[in-house]
């Protein structure tokens, strides 16, 4: 295995890196998508307002179809996502709130995720890893980001990791600028993805009101901050249509926004970056 994409949820890797994955496969590179939060919650124990997101049996079928279409291997780590764990959130949007007073201890799955990284590196010592930047402060994305970032720095394996711009970071410049690494992503383009639909516009507006600032930076000890980053762009020209067609296979998620809205959103986002996907990597010079 040469490339391993860490996906917090089913569909995250494809939404953020689907073009890159397709390009790697075309170049005859081996790819694995490791999805972290895939455990079926006990429906009876969670509020009804969360039920529409908790259809993991269906979502796993969709994920299989999508990743088979891309001709990549996949693994589900089957950890329960934060929305369904105790203490239960009061409302779905609370998933974007990070409690600074609880520090890193609130992320109880970091050790489990890092243990999986141990196994993968032992099995595939030459593999490169791709992890989310967690722009937008989604709790699950933050947990995968922190586990990956700290692992990379603790073992000084900077050349093995790249961090990708996840969905919420794609939505708007304002959201990116509230992440301590989001500011490393240059602002280009006049086509605003969040205006693809009223629903996306409202999501970006709500998220901006919830994200208080450089919260992730405040969580991290200085040794995890004393590194320099550089932007890596990967052109997906020739692979964009395949990415969008694979995204369509995540029907349960697509219908929350509508297929036309999703296509329009990603086309606007890609156009702002000359049909590219964005990554950050630590400078090693």
The residue that leads in pLDDT, 203 or 158, is: 158
Work out the percent of the chain whose per-residue pLDDT is above 70: 94
pTM (two decimals): 0.93
Q: In the 8-state DSSP scheme, what is residue 86?
A: S
Mean pLDDT of 180-198: 75
Counted domains in the chain: 1
Angstrom distances, CA of residue 27 to CA of 23, 31, 138, 201, 281: 6, 11, 33, 37, 22
Tokens coding 37: 């939060």
pLDDT, averaged across the chain: 88
Domain extent, residue 163, equals 3-282
CATH number for the domain including 263? 3.40.50.10320
pLDDT, residue 191, reads 66
Beta bridge partners of 128: 3
Nearest-CA neighbor of 111 among 140, 64, 80, 150? 150
Q: Does residue 106 carry a pLDDT above 60?
A: yes
140 near 81, Cβ under 8 Å? Answer: yes
Per-residue model confidence as pLDDT tens digits over 227-281: 999 999 999 999 999 999 999 999 988 887 778 888 888 888 898 888 999 999 9
Q: Does residue 158 carry a pLDDT above 80?
A: yes
Nearest-CA neighbor of 166 among 130, 191, 219, 195? 130
């Amino acid at each position: 295995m040469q490339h391993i994409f860490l996906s917090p949820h089913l569909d995250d890797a494809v939404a953020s890196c689907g073009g890159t994955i397709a390009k790697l496969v075309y170049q005859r590179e081996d790819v694995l998508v490791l999805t972290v939060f895939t455990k079926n919650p006990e429906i009876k124990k969670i509020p009804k307002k969360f039920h529409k997101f908790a259809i993991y049996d269906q979502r796993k079928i969709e994920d299989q179809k999508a990743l088979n279409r891309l001709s990549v291997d996949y693994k589900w780590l089957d950890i329960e996502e934060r929305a369904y764990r105790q203490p239960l959130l009061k409302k779905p949007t609370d998933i974007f709130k990070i409690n600074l007073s609880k520090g890193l201890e609130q992320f109880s799955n970091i050790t489990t995720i890092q243990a999986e990284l141990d196994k993968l590196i032992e099995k595939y010592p030459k593999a490169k890893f791709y992890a989310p930047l967690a722009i937008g402060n989604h709790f699950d994305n933050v947990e995968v980001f922190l586990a990956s970032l700290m692992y990379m720095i603790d073992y000084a394996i900077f050349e093995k990791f790249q961090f990708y711009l996840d969905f919420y970071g794609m939505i708007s410049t304002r959201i990116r600028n509230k992440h301590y690494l989001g500011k490393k992503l240059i602002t280009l383009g006049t086509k605003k993805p969040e205006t693809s639909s009223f629903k996306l516009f409202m999501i970006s507006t709500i998220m901006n009101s919830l994200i208080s600032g450089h919260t992730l930076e405040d969580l991290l000890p200085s040794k995890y901050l004393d590194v320099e980053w550089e932007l890596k762009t990967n052109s997906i020209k020739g692979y964009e249509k395949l990415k969008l067609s694979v995204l369509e296979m995540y029907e349960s998620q697509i219908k929350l926004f509508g297929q036309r809205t999703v296509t329009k959103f990603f086309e606007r986002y890609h156009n702002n970056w000359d049909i590219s996907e964005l990554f950050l990597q630590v400078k090693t010079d």
